[in-house]
Amino acid sequence: MEMLRFATAGSVDDGKSTLIGRLLHDSKAIFEDQLEAVERSSAQRGHDYVNLALLTDGLRAEREQGITIDVAYRYFATPRRKFIIADTPGHVQYTRNMVTGASTADLAVILVDARKGLLEQSRRHASIASLLGIPHLVLAVNKMDLVRWDEVRFKTIVGDFESVAARLQVVETTAIPMSALLGDNVVERSTHMPWYDGPALLEHLETVELESSHDFERPRFPVQYVIRPLTADHHDYRGYAGQVAGGVFHPGDAVVVLPSGQPSTIASIETLDGLVDRAYAPMSVTIRLTDDLDVSRGDMIAAADDLPVVSQELEAVVCWFSDRPLVPGATYALKHTTRAARAVVQKIEHRLDVNTLEPELAPAELAVNDIGRVSIRTSTPLAVDDYGTNRATGSFILIDEATNVTVGAGLVVCPSH
C-alpha cells in the first residue's frame, strides 16, 4: 500500500490540531479510550462539544516548552493509502521546526483562517514548502463556518495564495474550503457549501499522484562504514556500507570514488539477505569494488559517466535556526550525507522578504527564521548535487561547534541552476 507523508503548517490558531483530530476521528483512526479521554477533557474545560484538538495537545505542550524536536508525528491509514502526518508548530519562533517536519513530505497542507486571510507566517510556510521542493500544496481555508460559508471570501483568499504560489513557482496547489471543528470537507464533503464541487481533504490525500522523492537517475552512494572482518576466512574482504542516495547501481558498473577521483568497477552488491543484482535509493547495502582503493567514511561512490559537482565552494539557500544571527566570516561544522567538514560563510547574497517575496540584497546578517542565499567555503571538497534533483546529496546542516546545536539547514544551488 502506498504511503503519503504530509505536513500541516499555518499560523497560530488556524486550526491545525483540530484538523488533525478531525481527520483521525472521522477516518476511525483513534481508539475508544482516546476519544473518551478527549470527551472528559472537553467537559472539564467547559466545552459544549468534543474538542478534537486535544488529541494532539499533549504533544503541543511539549513543543511549546522546547522539548524534543518540536514536531509531532501521527500515523493512520485508510483502505486506499497509509499516512504519516507531521504536525508542525505555528508560532513564528518555531518556524525552524517546520523545516524539520516538512523536509521529507510529499505534500503540505497550509491552513488559513477564513477570517484573517493570508498572514506573514502563511507566506513563510509556503516559501519553505517551495524551497524544500514539496510537489503538492493544499490551501485549507479553515473556519468557513465563521464567515457564513462565504464563497466570495474563499475565492479572495485563493486568489491571494495563487499570486504567492506563482511567484514561488509552486507546481500544484489545491484549495479546499472547510470547517475542521464541524468536519465540513475534511473527511466527508460539506452540504453547507454547494458552490464548491471539489474533493474533501481526505479524498484528495487518498488520490493525489505521488512522485518519488528519490532521484533514480544519478547513482550516488555515500560511504557510511568500511567493513573489514578480522577473521582468517575474510582477511581480504573490503566492503563499503551505506544507503543509496540516488540512481541504480549494478555489479559491473564503472564508478568513481569522490572526492579523490579514483576509478573502479562494482564487483558485487550485498544486503543482509545476500547478493543482489541491483541497488537503488533508499536501499542500505554493502558495495565491493574490483580495486583495492583508499575509501573511507564520507567518500562518495558515483557513476563514472554522471558525476556530482565536487567543490569546496558552495552556493546554498539557508534556513537559519539560531537566535545568534549568521554573519559573514562565521565558521561552523557542516554535515553533508556522511561527510563532515568545517565551513566558513564567505558572503550573504540575499535574504528573502516573506511578505513581498523579493530578495533583499547583501544583508548584514540572517536572523532566526530568516531564509537567505549564502556562499560557503568548506575545509574539504564535497560531492554535491542541486537540491532540486537530489534531496539527499543537495542538502546539509550547519552546526555550532561550541554547543553542537544545529543552527541552519542548507539547500545546495548548483551553478547550472
Q: What is the CATH number of the domain that holds 82?
A: 3.40.50.300
Pairing status of strand 225-227 against strand 239-243 = antiparallel
Count of the separate structural domains present in the chain: 3
C-alpha cell belonging to residue 129 = 514548502
Calculate the CA 246 to chain-centre distance: 17
pLDDT of 59 above 60 = no
> Which runs of E-coded beta strand occur in 182-261?
220-222, 225-227, 239-243, 248-249, 254-258
Regarding whether 249 and 190 lie in a shared domain, the answer is no
Answer with the residue of higher pLDDT: 263 or 212: 263
**Residue 342 pLDDT > 80, yes or no?**
yes
Statement to judge: residues 295 and 245 lie in one domain = yes
Query: Is residue 94 scored above 50 in pLDDT?
Result: yes
Q: What distance in Å separates the CA atoms of residue 348 and residue 361, rounded to the nearest whole number?
A: 8
- pLDDT for res 236: 76
User: Is 406 a member of any domain?
Assistant: yes
User: Looking at the domain assignment, is residue 51 inside a domain?
Assistant: yes
Q: How many Å apart are CA 146 and CA 191, to the nearest integer?
A: 16
CA angle 317, 84, 37 (to 5 degrees): 125
Residue 212 lies in a domain: no
The SS3 of residue 144 is helix
Burial label for 230, CB within 10 Å (0-12, 13-18, 19+), is exposed
- Based on the domain organization, do 351 and 386 belong to the same domain? yes
Q: Which of 207, 236, 263 represents a domain boundary (last residue)?
A: 207
State whether 124 and 256 are in the same domain: no
pLDDT over 70, % of the chain = 84
The verdict on residue 262 lying in a domain is yes
pTM: 0.81
246-258 pLDDT, tens digit each: 999 999 999 999 9
The yes-or-no verdict on residue 395 having pLDDT over 70 is yes
Q: What is the pLDDT of residues 136-147, one digit of tens each?
A: 899 999 999 999
Closest by CA to 287, choosing from 336, 304, 335, 295, is: 295
Segment 161-188 mean pLDDT = 88
pLDDT of residue 374: 96
Beta-ladder partners of 302: 220, 256
Q: Report the pLDDT value the prediction gives residue 152, as an integer from 0 to 100.
A: 96
Q: Are 57 and 153 part of one and the same domain?
A: yes
Q: How far apart are CA 397 and CA 407, in angstroms?
A: 8
* pLDDT for the residue 159: 94
Same domain, residue pair 317 and 278: no
In a domain, 143, yes or no: yes
pLDDT score of 9: 83
Q: Are residues 385 and 288 in the same domain?
A: no
Domain boundary among 280, 303, 326: 303
Range of the domain at 330: 309-412
**Whole-number average pLDDT of the chain:** 85
Q: Are residues 144 and 234 in the same domain?
A: no
Q: Does residue 323 share a domain with residue 297?
A: no
Is 417 inside a domain boundary? Answer: no
Question: Residue written as cell 462539544?
Answer: 49
Is there a single domain that holds both residue 348 and residue 249? no
Q: Which helix (H) or strand (E) element contains residue 271? A: strand 262-271
Instruction: Identify the band that residue 21 occupies on the pLDDT scale cut at 50, 70 and 90.
Output: confident
Q: What is the pLDDT of residue 417?
A: 44
User: Does the structure show a pLDDT above 70 at 32?
Assistant: no
Cross-strand pairs, 15: none
Q: Do 202 and 247 have their domain in common? A: no
* Domain assignment of residue 67, yes or no: yes
CA distance 258 to 296: 10
The reply to whether 158 and 28 lie within a common domain is yes
pLDDT tens, 273-318? Answer: 999 999 999 899 999 999 989 999 999 999 999 999 999 999 999 9
Is position 215 within any domain? no
Contact 13, 121 (CB under 8 A): no
CATH code of the domain in which 265 resides: 2.40.30.10
Q: Which of 77-81, 212-216, 246-250 has the highest mean pLDDT?
A: 246-250
Residue that terminates a domain, selected from 178, 207, 236: 207
